[in-house]
Amino acid sequence: MIFRTHYCGLIDKQDAGQEVAIVGWIHRRRDHGGVIFFDMRDETGLVQVVYNPDNKETFALAESCRAEFVLLSKGIVRERPEGTINPDLASGEIEIIASELTILNTSLALPFQLDEHASVGEETRLKYRFLDLRREAMQSNIRLRAKVSHSLRNVLNEEGFLEIETPLLTKATPEGARDYLVPSRTYPGSFFALPQSPQLFKQTLMASGFEKYYQFARCFRDEDLRADRQPEFTQIDIESAFVDANDIINTVTRMISKVFKETLEVDLEDFPHLTYAEAIEKYGTDKPDLRNPLELVEVKDLFINSDFKVFSEPANSDDSRIAALCIPMGGSLSRKKIDDYTDFVGTFGAKGLAYIKVDDPSKGKDGLQSPIIKFIDESIIEKLLVSLDVKEGDIVFFGAGKRKVVNDSLSALRDLVAQDLDLLTSEWAPCWIVDFPMFEIASSGLITPLHHPFTAPRCSIKELIKDPLLALTDAYDIVLNGTELGGGSVRIHDHEMQSAVLKILNINQDEAEEKFGFLILALKHGCPPHAGLAIGFDRLIMLMTKSDSIRDVIAFPKTQTASCLMTNAPGPASSEQLDELHLKIQDLNKET
């Protein structure tokens, strides 16, 4: 059966006079009693179909149609009469005078309107996702996603990368996020884990002689969700043998640039490289938004001998910092706004938010307004004004305390202020963060890898063991507009180095053997030097579509509590299924 001869959105003046058949949904209907207009919608767009009463049967049928009915319409294309052209519609110069109408399917009254003017809550959208996805905004997001994935594959294939799939039913990895587990029927009491990433497999593939690997890898992490985090997500996973960090960085820079050009017609200019240490110093974060011109200034040294305890204590403590964030013309911020900012930094653990309003910098202390100024010596103030280079009308915020708290709170404040005062200077600002430390001390007090335990330190085993916290790595993160898009590293390919790292992390040999003995074994059998990276595909699309949430670029996403409102997953299993899997459900009421 031939449904259609033409697509709705593609019919134009050239087709005038032709008999056409179109299919699609009734996007909107306008029933004037004596004449009925339908805007018919298919993948390509809209076209107006006109039903006249002289064709009685068809007209009666059209009267019975409602929004989102699925129709097959036949008719003659004609140029619209004088004065009825719609310039907002691609096909607005023509219309179809209907001669025949077949209703292919009806539709219940919609739970929400699909046009771009109506706003709908996310709960309703997710429950009726099939309708939500019909909306123009979602259509264009999902279509861009497909276009980008196509473009990425093209680039990677052109560069000689080979797409290889790795298992979803696999084994729990060491540390990291909580795993999603799948019970084994054939091994009672045993479980597969869904991969948090294909890290170990891709390194194994390097040992297998596939020198350039990539995969659109589905990854699973059972952790609490955020606007940019879903329990299952897609990574563009890349690994190459016989390359160094710069090879990977260059390849990925080329790839991202090309994809932006091909899909958005955007030229990403340069990708500056910042060291981890620089990024923390200037922005308080390892994923700075470089569209934002604001920078933190370290003013710790000025307060070493101050009487003002709030500042002098951190000034004399090694794991503390005092940073200033100067907002040009920020003096106009209301008291209320400053209070809001104070509450805001409080969520990151800051005890307060000191500030100085600059009325007239030439007057020194007298030209300033601040609740803290009376506690600070004139001489310190003078030095402060010089090093911050403040101007009339500015406001300076201060963070003083533990490094982590100051960095977390001021980096977040930097983003918020830029948003509130509309300070962003460009549309796109990619960058690379390099020279990550190998380890850090986590809040638990334990030494943990910044990236992962398979990242190669730059130093020798001897130096590494001597002071692990000093070791830097060839790890690199790509950051776009303040979002960590992806990251990677040069990997350890020497089993002795790998053992040394595991030892520092207190992962004993038995545990290592049990969890990833196969990788260590592969390292011992001629594994080449290799490096790679993974990019968060969903986040990339979120940025490219300027969406506020990753959910808007995933066809069927989960809610913040990791459920699917359309399918109602997760759901209970039957007792037969549980028996087969040797599982028993605890009495849920008995818990606690």
Instruction: Give residues 78-117 in contact with RNA (rule: CB under 7 A).
Output: 80-81, 83-86, 88-89, 92, 95, 109-113, 115, 117
Q: In what order do the strands lie in the sheet with 475-480?
A: 162-163, 212-220, 232-241, 530-536, 483-490, 475-480, 430-434, 273-275
Residues 47-66 that bind RNA (CB under 7 A): 48, 50, 52-54, 66
Q: Minimum distance between the CB of residue 561 and RNA, rounded to whole angstroms?
A: 4
**445 forms part of the interface with RNA (CB under 7 A):** no
CB of 127 or CB of 258, closer to RNA: 127
Number of residues that bind RNA (CB under 7 A): 80
Please state, in angstroms and as integers, the Cα–Cα distance from residue 77 to each residue in 11, 47, 84, 183, following that order: 8, 10, 15, 60
R_g (Cα) of the chain, nearest Å: 30
Given 10, 12, 21, 28, the residue binding RNA (CB under 7 A): 28
Q: Is 173 helix (H, G, I), strand (E, B) or coil?
A: coil
CB of 252 or CB of 519, closer to RNA: 519
Q: Minimum distance between the CB of residue 405 and RNA, rounded to whole angstroms?
A: 9
Binding span for RNA by CB under 7 A among 146-154, 170-178, 360-368, 373-381: 170-178
Binding to RNA by CB under 7 A, coded x per residue (else -) over 486-525, reads: ----------------------------------------
Binding span for RNA by CB under 7 A among 136-144, 365-373, 441-449, 458-466: 441-449
- Return the HEC string of 318-382: CCEEEEEEEECCHHHCCHHHHHHHHHHHHCCCCCCCEEEEECCHHHHHHHEECCCHHHCCHHHHH
Question: Cα 503 to the chain's mean position, in Å?
Answer: 34
CB of 343 or CB of 427, closer to RNA: 343
- Strand 395-402 and strand 320-327: the pairing is antiparallel
Given 67, 103, 142, 465, the residue binding RNA (CB under 7 A): 67
* Separation between Cα atoms, residue 476 and residue 275, nearest integer Å: 9
Q: How many residues does this entry show for the chain?
A: 592
Given 153, 171, 229, 403, the residue binding RNA (CB under 7 A): 229
CB of 159 or CB of 484, closer to RNA: 484
Cβ–Cβ < 8 Å for 367, 358: yes
Cα angle 501-507-510, degrees, rounded to a multiple of 5 = 120
Binding to RNA by CB under 7 A, coded x per residue (else -) over 239-278, reads: ----------------------------------------
Given 145, 287, 321, 452, the residue binding RNA (CB under 7 A): 452
Given 146, 442, 470, 555, the residue binding RNA (CB under 7 A): 442
**339 forms part of the interface with RNA (CB under 7 A):** no
Given 60, 118, 169, 583, the residue binding RNA (CB under 7 A): 118
Residue 519 in tokens? 């990788």
**9 forms part of the interface with RNA (CB under 7 A):** no
Q: Minimum distance between the CB of residue 217 and RNA, rounded to whole angstroms?
A: 12
**226 forms part of the interface with RNA (CB under 7 A):** yes
Cβ–Cβ < 8 Å for 566, 135: no
Q: Minimum distance between the CB of residue 469 and RNA, rounded to whole angstroms?
A: 14
Q: Minimum distance between the CB of residue 483 and RNA, rounded to whole angstroms?
A: 11
Residues 180-209 that bind RNA (CB under 7 A): 196-197, 199
CB atoms within 10 A of CB 321: 25
Residue 104 in tokens? 């292919």
Question: Phi, psi at residue 68, to the nearest 5°?
Answer: 70, 10
- Return the HEC string of 300-318: HHHHCCCCCHHHHHHHCCC
**336 forms part of the interface with RNA (CB under 7 A):** no
CB of 26 or CB of 356, closer to RNA: 26
Binding span for RNA by CB under 7 A among 5-13, 326-334, 429-437, 547-555: 547-555
Q: Minimum distance between the CB of residue 426 and RNA, rounded to whole angstroms?
A: 22
Q: Minimum distance between the CB of residue 21 and RNA, rounded to whole angstroms?
A: 20
CB of 174 or CB of 352, closer to RNA: 174
Residues 139-168 that bind RNA (CB under 7 A): none
Question: Phi, psi at residue 38, to the nearest 5°?
Answer: -115, 135
Q: Minimum distance between the CB of residue 462 and RNA, rounded to whole angstroms?
A: 24
Cβ–Cβ < 8 Å for 77, 16: yes
* Non-local CB neighbours of 90 within 8 Å, separated by 6+ positions: 9, 12, 45, 46
Given 7, 549, 556, 578, the residue binding RNA (CB under 7 A): 549
* Non-local CB neighbours of 424 within 8 Å, separated by 6+ positions: 289, 291, 292, 418
Binding span for RNA by CB under 7 A among 334-342, 364-372, 391-399, 546-554: 546-554
Q: Minimum distance between the CB of residue 371 and RNA, rounded to whole angstroms?
A: 24
CB of 61 or CB of 264, closer to RNA: 61
Residues 343-382 that bind RNA (CB under 7 A): 347-349
Question: Phi, psi at residue 423, to the nearest 5°?
Answer: -95, -5
Binding to RNA by CB under 7 A, coded x per residue (else -) over 390-429, reads: ------------------x---x-----------------
Given 158, 163, 165, 223, the residue binding RNA (CB under 7 A): 223
* Separation between Cα atoms, residue 525 and residue 553, nearest integer Å: 42
Identify residue 172 by its one-letter amino acid code. A
The single-letter DSSP state of residue 468 is G
Residue 83 in tokens? 């004065």
Given 1, 32, 186, 334, the residue binding RNA (CB under 7 A): 32
What are the DSSP calls for 560-589, one per residue?
Answer: TTS--TTT--S----HHHHHHTT-----GG
Q: Minimum distance between the CB of residue 479 and RNA, rounded to whole angstroms?
A: 14
